[in-house]
């Protein structure tokens, strides 16, 4: 029972173009969503988050969009840079986890940005 | 700034052996977590702790045990290692509220 799904295992884009990474969730109780980036042989690092009371959050080149009715969120990277090449994990948390901080992670999407 | 430190980075175990994966954080975080990452499967929660002396099971706890005697340390114990425990293990911590984890660099474990 995969509550958070990233259906695209990989994505390849050209440097300077937009990268769009997608994430779907099934649990309507999720109210906080995060994106993590992971380089090989390193632990994931926090990238950006969004609360369910918002539909967009922007931080520099990174923007996360949340569509609650579709239970879908996406991460936009504009412009994409070769250093963005990494695995991106979507994660979610809900009211039931508010006192534990437990996150449910998606399978990850490997982004390759070509020079 | 050490953050979250995991040791060892790599380990090969034989079936039936036991070992402890060490995790230490120096940020005075109350919340600590152990995840495993299998190819194409994302990160699965093994155990977590909301403070010293308090631990609870996550999604995939079978074959593992944890303890939290101090705020800083959260070791993961594997008893009777099995090939199914071959994975990359990540320890993470977070401050009050629990969001925005800081991860360690991981332990790659192979059971043969």
pLDDT one-digit tens code per residue, A72-101:
999 999 999 999 999 999 999 886 666 788
In this complex, is the C-beta atom of B27 within 8 Å of any C-beta atom belonging to chain A? no
* Distance, CA of A99 to CA of A95 (rounded, Å): 8
CATH of B24-96, one of 2.30.30.280, 3.40.630.10, 1.10.645.10, 2.60.40.10: 2.60.40.10
| CB neighbour list of residue A72: distance below 8 Å, 6 or more residues apart | A22, A23, A24, A25, A66
- Minimum CA–CA partner of A1 in chain B: B59
* Spans of all domains in chain A: 4-114
- Minimum CA–CA partner of B90 in chain A: A43
In this complex, is the C-beta atom of B45 within 8 Å of any C-beta atom belonging to chain A? yes
* Distance, CA of A103 to CA of A21 (rounded, Å): 19
Q: Which tens digit of pLDDT belongs to each residue from A53-72? A: 999 999 999 999 999 999 99
B90 with A107: Cβ contact below 8 A: no
**Which two structure tokens, joined as six digits, stand for A5?**
């799904």
Task: State the nearest Cα–Cα gap between A102 and chain B, in angstroms.
Answer: 7
Question: Is domain A4-114 given the CATH code 1.10.10.10 in the classification?
Answer: no
A102 with B45: Cβ contact below 8 A: yes
Total count of residues recorded for chain B: 112
* Distance, CA of A7 to CA of B14 (rounded, Å): 35
Q: Which tens digit of pLDDT belongs to each residue from A3-32? A: 999 999 999 999 999 999 999 999 998 989
Q: What is the mean pLDDT of each run of 10 residues along chain B (112 residues)?
A: 91 96 96 92 93 94 96 96 96 78 95 96
* Distance, CA of A27 to CA of A2 (rounded, Å): 10
* Spans of all domains in chain B: 24-96
């Amino acid at each position: 029972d995969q509550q958070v799904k990233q259906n695209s295992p990989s994505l390849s884009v050209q440097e300077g173009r937009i990268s769009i990474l997608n994430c779907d969730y099934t649990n309507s109780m999720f109210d906080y969503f995060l994106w993590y980036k992971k380089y090989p042989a390193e632990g994931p690092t926090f990238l950006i988050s969004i609360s369910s009371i918002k539909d967009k959050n922007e931080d520099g080149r990174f923007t996360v969009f949340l569509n609650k009715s579709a239970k879908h969120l996406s991460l936009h990277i504009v412009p994409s840079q070769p250093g963005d090449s990494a695995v991106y994990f979507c994660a979610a948390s809900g009211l039931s986890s508010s006192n534990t901080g437990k996150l449910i992670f998606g399978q990850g999407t490997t982004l390759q940005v070509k020079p | 700034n050490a953050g979250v430190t995991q040791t060892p980075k790599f380990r090969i175990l034989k079936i039936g052996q036991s070992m402890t994966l060490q995790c230490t954080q120096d940020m005075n975080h109350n919340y600590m977590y152990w995840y495993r990452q299998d190819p194409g499967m994302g990160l699965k929660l093994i155990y977590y702790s909301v403070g010293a002396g308090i631990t609870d099971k996550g999604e995939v706890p079978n074959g593992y045990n944890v303890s939290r005697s101090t705020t800083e340390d959260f070791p993961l114990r594997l008893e009777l290692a099995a090939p199914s425990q071959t994975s990359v293990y990540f320890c993470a911590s977070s401050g009050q509220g629990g969001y925005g984890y800081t991860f360690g660099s991981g332990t790659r474990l192979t059971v043969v």
